[in-house]
Structures are given as C-alpha cells and as structure tokens.
Amino acid sequence: RAKEQGKNNYQMFTPEMKVMAFHRLILENSMRKALERNEFSLVYQPIVNSNNLQITGVEALLRWRHPEMGDVSPADFIPLAEETGMIVPIGEWVLRTASAQNKAWQDAGYPPIRMSVNLSARQFLQPNVNRNLVKTVKEALETTGLEAKWLVLEMTESIMQNYDNTIETLRQLQEIGVRISIDDFGTGYSSLSYLKRLPIDALKIDQSFVRDLTTDPDHAAIARAIIAMAHSLKLKVTAEGVETEGQAHYLRDLKCDKMQGYLFSKPLTASEFESLLRAGKPYMLASGSPGFVV
C-alpha cells in the first residue's frame, strides 16, 4: 500500500515510528553478532519449596549487554529474536549454557536442583529433522552430561498455536526425561479439558495473580482454582513474582508447591547463586521484620 501512494508514502511514518524502526534495525543487526561476541549471559533465580523454603530449583534468565547500548531488556529483544528467528540459535546457546551450569554445580557437590529454561513457540517450529527442538535438547544434555530429569522446559500457552505437532514434540521431550512446565499460566486462553490433553508436568501461576493475592479476592480465587485444578491433574504448581511475606504465607496456605520471586532473591549471577548453594540454608520468612535471612 505504501508503494501505491508513491512519493507521499513517507507520510505514513510519524517521526516516532521512524525512530522505532531505526532502533529495531540497529537492535536486529547487533543481535546477529551478539552470540559470537559473547554479549549474552544468563542469570539465575532460585525457586524454593513452599514448605521448607529450601532451594529446589532455579530459572535461567537471558541477559544481553550491548557494548554501547548497555543492558537491553528481554522484553525488547526477545520478541525481536522470535520474529527474526534468531531465538533458535540463541535458544540453543541458552539450553547448553544452563545445562552446563547445572552439571557444574552438581559436580561441585551441591545437592542437585532442577534448572528451568524458557522456550519460545518459535523454537517448536523447526521442521528440519536434522535440526529440531528435540534434537537440540538431546544434544545439550549429551554434550554437558546433565541428566534429563534435572532440566525443565518452560513455555507459555502460545506454543499451542500449532497444536498437533506441538503435542508430539512435547511427548518426545517427556520421553527423553525432561520436565515440561507451562509458564505465565492464567494469562492465555486455557481450560481444564485443554490442559488435560497436554503432556506436561507443572505450571507457573502468572505474577499478575500473585501480585494482588492478598488484596483482590478475585485474584485470590483464581490462584486457588488454578492450584486445585493443577493438583487434580497431578501437576506441580510454582507461583512467580512472590514479593511479600503476606503472599508467601497465603500461597503456602493454598498448598502451592513452590515459589519464586524477589522476596527470596532477584536473579543472580552464577557465582552469586553458588554462594547461596554453599550457604545451604533455607530462606527464612522473618515475619514482623521486613527482611529475610539467607
């Protein structure tokens, strides 16, 4: 349509749009080089058992530090990486790096924990038999020596856009022995019957429901319903975005299995996370005082 309007087509772009398009182009070009330039890194956020507050798992979260732009938010670069397909090689790097890190912690003698890695829907769309998600996951496990049961793959409900193939891929992943968890649960469109058909092991309640848990009865009711429903389907439940002791106590009462959020820890560098493992102490909910003891 822009072409039809001939030389006036520039009018379709506001200055703001031009800046955005330019910004995108720069981001896209530098993202292509970011992998080989080692600009990506992972940070690790603990996931704790709701009953004893011991660390039972960790989520790997991707970070990108551009030499000039500085830290680029995942909210900005991950959608772009998905659109351009760059998320495929980047995702392979994440899987390998997170698996290697978990294996290194196990080899160092720390009690084994599960490593969660986020996957984009785009990573399911690789029809090539020589290079597909199942193969990528197998390779990451083989090259790092990590046992499959210590790897969790997190994905949102958007993976179901290509329903038939996705179910088959999930089955193959479960066959390898990795766990499947539905991320940001409650934000997409899902129903009990839909969940029942999915070969999955766990789900994470989106932080939007956790945020208002103690103040909004509707959100509390949703959280309660999600947990009850998940348990009836034999799924484990993690609450994300837990920031206050009030939320933690509430979630514990609702029998939510695991919790993750700033109350326990922000995402940490690998060496910071290792300090937590070395301390080996559970988090404490020091009710009455604002902090908690590590």
The single residue among 78, 86, 141, 222 that binds ligand C2E, judged by CB under 6 A, is: 78
Q: What mask of x and - would describe binding to Mg ion in positions 150 to 169, judged by CB under 5 A?
A: ----x---------------
Site for ligand C2E in 29-58 (CB under 6 A): 45
Structure tokens at 108: 């160092």
* Whole-angstrom Cα Rg for the chain: 21
Distance CA 85, CA 29 (A): 13
> Is 102 among the residues that bind ligand C2E (CB under 6 A)?
no
Distance CA 177, CA 142 (A): 13
Structure tokens at 138: 């197998």
Task: Give min distance, CB of 271 to ligand C2E, in A.
Answer: 18
Q: Are 53 and 282 in contact (CB under 8 A)?
A: yes
In terms of Cβ atoms closer than 10 Å to its own Cβ (0-12, 13-18, 19+), residue 126 is middle
Task: Give min distance, CB of 277 to ligand C2E, in A.
Answer: 19
Q: What mask of x and - would describe binding to ligand C2E in positions 79 to 98, judged by CB under 6 A?
A: --------x---x--x----
Cα separations (Å) of 61 from 42, 72, 183, 189, 251? 5, 13, 13, 25, 24
261 binds, among ligand C2E, Mg ion, none (CB under 5 to 8 A by kind): ligand C2E
> Is 186 among the residues that bind ligand C2E (CB under 6 A)?
no
> Is 184 among the residues that bind ligand C2E (CB under 6 A)?
yes
Task: Give min distance, CB of 259 to ligand C2E, in A.
Answer: 10
Residue 37 in 3-state DSSP? coil
> Is 267 among the residues that bind ligand C2E (CB under 6 A)?
yes
Chain residues binding ligand C2E by CB under 6 A are 45, 61-62, 74, 78, 87, 91, 94, 118-120, 154, 183-184, 207, 240-243, 261-262, 267
